[in-house]
Amino acid sequence: MSSIEEKDKEYIWHPFTQMQEWVAQPQMVIEAAEGIKLIDDQGNRYYDGVSSLWVNLHGHRHPVIDQAIIEQLGKVAHTTMLGLVNVPAAQLAEELMAVVPQGLKKLFYSDDGSTAVEIGIKMAFQYWQLKGKPKKQKFITLANAYHGDTVGTVSVGGIDLFHRIFSALLFETIQAPAPCCYHCKLSSGTELCGMACSKEVEKILEEGHEEIAAIIVEPLVQAAAGMLTQPPGYLKRLREITEKYNVLLLVDEVATGFGRTGKMFACDNEEVSPDFMMVAKGITGGYLPLAATFMTDEIYNAFLGDYAQQRTFYHGHSYTGNPLCCAAGLANLKIFREEKVLENLQGKIEAARNKLAGFTLKHVGDIRQRGLMIGIELVENPQEKIPFPWEMAVGAKVCKKAREHGLIIRPIGSVVVFMPPLASTITEIEHMLDIIYLSIREITEDEPLQYDARDVAAVMI
Ligand SMILES: *Cc1c(COP(=O)(O)O)cnc(C)c1O
């Protein structure tokens, strides 16, 4: 009999992983979890410091979500939404409408962030065809954007490492420079800065709006790019100029949605109501795959007509609106209400901020935080902003070291990402940040830095 780890290495191809390095190294097997801790097959406990890749909100095995799924299992696990209604999907839709930005009135279910974005792109495209403006076909995207890994979502992405090799398969977009305080030439973090950054987009809209269908953005934080934060006012300004030039605004809240930025949605920080909003990761509290693409009545109504007019949106997935997932989604919203999750977040966000203010280490460069989305950039020389050579895998080394101290995190290049479950207590957040501090110090100050494939195998993107 082979061990679990052997079976994994024999048969499974892991996401974003160089398998040659994976199979050559010992790997951790997670068997169970409790609250914000993961438990391996040796019984060791680790903090889930990136929320199982940004999905988990209220901890693992939360009784309310567990119970909701069990109850739904006693009724039915799955029925199709092609031609049938299901109970949790309808109930969840109503409850979601009460918390999303006010202009959003309808939703289309799918299964993950990538499908939710694909649907937004296709609907935005078809919308203009149906409105008699067939020339409006182009999408504006932002540099460093990440919207998923399917061919359509890679087309609107801007991370060269992931996307370059597929360029022949992708549709063309107009790429605008990314707004980012860190790299912005003006003083960072002011309304003025937000205005300046959006000028580039405005120029593109002014010149090309007759052929532009939409702009797609990650609001407030480009997470997969390394937690690049946007200046205040930027998103609001995008809403103003897209309205002015009759271009749709698609907001990808897959990472930022459900409390991550301190408000329910990133849009709420700037009182923005987009034409489309995509959510996934946190929608079930991190339990089951579910996603939703929200849109305005204006979009929805444009698709109405007799069957024969062929204005239908011809798109759907087998598990769309799955009842178990929607039951988990309902339980997620119930926890937000009953445990006052958003109200309790502010103290946690402040505690993290205070702790990070003490990260005065030799190789810590920029620290970026929006709510409980945190990126700590490691640099060879902070004064000159000289990065570590990427083959040093310094981020991966720090994350590997953190495991020795009982914390599971994952880097993006040389950015250490910290995105704990919202349920983490202030004490737990401080403890996790102590581990990160210690791990950074040990790797960048105490030990000579060298390239070692073993560091990369488990944790490197
Ligand atoms: C994770 C993510 C996606 C893709 O979601 P999947 O569920 O992994 O397909 C899309 N957009 C953003 C902003 C994300 O963070």
Ligand 1 near 417 CB (within 6 A): no
Is 460 part of a structural domain of the chain?
Answer: no
| 397 in contact with ligand 1, CB cutoff 6 A | no
Q: What is the pLDDT of residue 37?
A: 98
CATH code, 182: 3.40.640.10
Atom of ligand 1 nearest to the CA of 148: 4
**Is 24 found in the same domain as 116?**
no
Ligand 1 centre from 213 Cα, in Å? Answer: 22
User: How close is the Cα of 354 to the center of ligand 1, in Å?
Assistant: 29
Same-domain check for residues 225 and 81: yes
Please give the distance, rounded to the nearest whole angstrom, from the Cα atom of residue 170 to the centre of ligand 1.
18
Known binding residues for pyridoxal 5'-phosphate: 113-114, 252, 317-318
Whole-angstrom Cα Rg for the chain: 22
Question: Atom 11 of ligand 1 has which residue's CA nearest to it?
Answer: 147
Residue 108 lies in a domain: yes
| CATH code where residue 36 lies | 3.90.1150.10
In this predicted structure, the answer to whether residue 291 has a pLDDT above a threshold of 50 is yes
With a 6 A CB cut-off, is 148 part of the ligand 1 pocket? yes
Assess whether 14 and 78 both reside in one domain.
no
In this structure, the answer to whether residues 201 and 228 fall within a common structural domain is yes
Verify whether ligand 1 is closer than 6 Å to residue 114 (CB atom). Answer: yes
Q: Is the CB of 282 under 6 A from ligand 1?
A: no
Residue range of the domain that includes 11: 4-58+340-455
Average pLDDT over the chain reads 94
Q: What is the mean pLDDT of residues 370-399?
A: 91
Specify the pLDDT at position 325: 98
Range from 157-166, 188-197, 224-233, 382-391 that averages highest in pLDDT: 224-233
Atom index in ligand 1 nearest the CA of residue 222 equals: 13
**What spacing in Å lies between the alpha carbon of 252 and ligand 1's midpoint?**
8
CA nearest ligand 1 atom 5, residue: 113
389 shares a domain with 363: yes
Is pLDDT of 448 > 80? no
Q: Could you tell me if residue 461 is inside a domain?
A: no
Most informative mutation of 258, 281, 325 for ligand 1 (most atoms within 8 A of CB): 281
Q: Examine residue 394 and state whether it is found in any structural domain, yes or no.
A: yes
- Is pLDDT at 186 greater than 50 in this prediction? no
Q: What is the value of pTM for the model shown?
A: 0.95
Is the same domain home to 221 and 88? yes
How many independent structural domains does the chain possess? Answer: 2
Range with lowest mean pLDDT among 125-134, 184-193, 194-203: 184-193
**Is there a domain that residue 206 lies in?**
yes
**Alpha carbon of 378 to ligand 1 centroid (Å):** 24
Q: Binding site, residues? A: 113-114, 146, 252, 281, 316-318, 410
Q: Are residues 421 and 304 in the same domain?
A: no
Choosing from 338, 370, 389, the residue where a domain stops is: 338
Residue 278 included in any domain: yes
Residues 104 and 247 in one domain: yes
CA-proximal residue: ligand 1, atom 15 (nearest): 255
Question: According to the model, what pLDDT value does residue 190 have?
Answer: 57
CA of 255 to the centre of ligand 1 (A): 6
Q: Is 255 in the pocket of ligand 1 (CB under 6 A)?
A: yes
Residue 113 Cα: closest atom of ligand 1: 5
Which pair of tokens denotes residue 436? 């990160």
Per-residue pLDDT tens over the stretch 293-335: 999 999 999 999 999 999 999 999 999 999 999 999 999 999 9
**Cα(418)–Cα(54) distance, integer angstroms:** 9
- Assess whether the C-beta atom of 280 lies below 6 angstroms from ligand 1: yes
Q: Is residue 348 over pLDDT 60? A: yes
Query: Which is it for strands 212-217 and 248-252: parallel, antiparallel or unpaired?
Result: parallel
Report the pLDDT value the prediction gives residue 185, as an integer from 0 to 100: 44
82 and 47 share one domain: no
Last residue of a domain, one of 318, 338, 358: 338
Ligand 1 atom closest to the Cα of residue 289 is 7
Does ligand 1 have an atom closer than 6 angstroms to the CB of 224?
A: yes
347 and 315 in one domain? no
Give the integer Cα–Cα distance in Å for 371 and 352.
9
Query: Would 321 be classed as within a structural domain?
Result: yes
Task: List phi, psi (to 5°) of 349.
Answer: -65, -45
Confidence (pLDDT) at 416: 97
- Do 431 and 386 share a domain, yes or no? yes
Backbone angles phi, psi at 146, to 5 degrees: -135, 120
Which residues are part of a known binding site for substrate? 146, 281, 316, 410
**pLDDT beyond 70 at 451:** no
Query: Around 68, how many Cα atoms within 13 Å sit in the side-chain half-sphere?
Result: 25
Q: Which residue has the tokens 């050579």?
A: 389
Asked if 24 and 136 sit in the same domain, the reply is no
Out of 292, 307, 338, a domain closes at: 338
Domain membership of residue 240 (yes or no) is yes
